[in-house]
Amino acid sequence: MIVAQRKIIPEILEKLKYHKKILVLGCGTCVTVCLAGGEREVCIIASALRMASKLHGYSLDIEELTIERQCDNIFIEMAAEATERNDAVLSLGCGAGVQAVAERYPYKPVYAGLDTAFIGILEERGVWTEKCIACGECVLSDYGGICPVARCAKRLLNGPCGGSKEDRCEVSPDRECAWQLIYRRLKDIGQLDRLKNIAVPKSWNKSRDGGYRVIIRDDHRI
């Protein structure tokens, strides 16, 4: 899932300074799961903004709404009337959601209430870790399902750098060396021979270095 975290209230308040009526728009998908932008967080941020604006001597009129997904026009449509009623939208969607809402309502100011961080998983209660940088050409199958691109600090594809100490990454000693994990995993599944293959340099032109990327599925186009 996409993992994000809430911006601080003073920062949000500053962005909203031109407006009196705000729609705080939550998203019911990834950012709900990572506790950043779902229905509960909409309620919390709306309350905090009401209180903060009063402390600053004015009063924000805030409407709350959460839609299923902010990155999908079918669901964005459900926010049309609420968007119309308000001066601006504070989106608690990921970066894609914020932009999708802004594109759908071109004359309405749309602000980001979250900092979108990465694609990751819930590791333990309250802890999310990055697992994928969406490089565009997945090599997980060659590495036992552990991504050297996202999880090795040096993105090494052909074995460890040699700097790890006691299974820890030399760049970030608080983390396990990704290559230690890859080795262990390939051993556990009886595929250590994969390490004999020399990985050719990865093609980064499918990554985001060439600008934003597009996927077209002709079988889904009308």
Residues that bind ligand SF4 (CB under 6 A): 132-135, 138-140, 147, 149-150, 152-154, 156, 160-161, 163-164, 169-171, 177-179
For CA atoms 163, 165, 169, 171, the dihedral sign is negative
Residue 221, strand partner residues: none
* Alpha helices (runs of H) in 59-177, residue ranges in sequence order: 73-76, 80-85, 95-104, 148-151
- Min dist CB 157 to ligand SF4, Å, is 9
CB of 65 or CB of 152, closer to ligand SF4: 152
CB of 59 or CB of 172, closer to ligand SF4: 172
For residue 97, give Cα distances in angstroms to 82, 121, 126, 152: 16, 19, 23, 29
Contact 24, 62 (CB under 8 A): yes
CB of 19 or CB of 175, closer to ligand SF4: 175
Q: What is the largest CA-CA distance in the chain?
A: 68
- Min dist CB 197 to ligand SF4, Å, is 15
- Min dist CB 170 to ligand SF4, Å, is 5
The structure tokens listed for 137 are 């050409």
CB of 46 or CB of 177, closer to ligand SF4: 177
- Min dist CB 175 to ligand SF4, Å, is 7
- Min dist CB 209 to ligand SF4, Å, is 13
Q: Is residue 13 classed as helix, strand or coil in its secondary structure? A: helix
CB of 13 or CB of 153, closer to ligand SF4: 153
Cα–Cα–Cα angle for 42, 45, 46, rounded to 5 degrees:
80
